[in-house]
Amino acid sequence: MQKSISKWLSGDAATGIVMKRRKQRLHAHCPCCGEDDEHLLHVLICSADAAVDFRQPLLTDLNNWLIDDEDTHPDIADYLLTSLTSWFEDPFGTEPVILSTIPSIRQAASQQSQEIGWYAFLCGFIVEPLVTCQQT
């Protein structure tokens, strides 16, 4: 897993662009949907049925891990799953309404969507109010 994360963060993951540069593919198209120049962001947001079907159980696993293994505050887990699901479905769409009554979660939601974004979140950049909320 650590090897995959370091490859991902260094931009060396086996995307279409990287595979073509390595001369391991003749083209850089996404193998799922055929989009030109498959890059890291596209791997996350590909809308092909196979990609959606692959992502959905991972979101369920993430939710289970957050709640069962990491004792994540339920409002934080709900916020993350709701927001990530929305981002995967429509990366350039409107952010979902966050219903939490906890002010730091609403503050985190605003910062995450307007200042950092979900791609950065998936690369490990988590806004401070969310971290503080979990730690208190």
User: How far is it between the farthest Cα atoms of the chain?
Assistant: 52
Interaction between residue 130 and Zn ion (CB under 5 A): no
Helix axes 128-135, 74-89, angle to 10 degrees: 150
Does 32 sit near Zn ion (CB under 5 A)? yes
33 binds Zn ion (CB under 5 A): yes
Tokens of residue 53, six digits:
């079907």
**Residue 19 found at the interface with Zn ion (CB under 5 A):** no
Candidate segments 45-53, 85-93, 96-104, 106-114, binder of Zn ion by CB under 5 A = 45-53
Alpha-carbon gap, residue 122 to 129, rounded angstroms: 17
Q: Contact with Zn ion (CB under 5 A): which of 17, 18, 30, 66?
A: 30
Tokens 């939710």, residue located: 63
Binding residues vs Zn ion (CB under 5 A): 30, 32-33, 35, 46
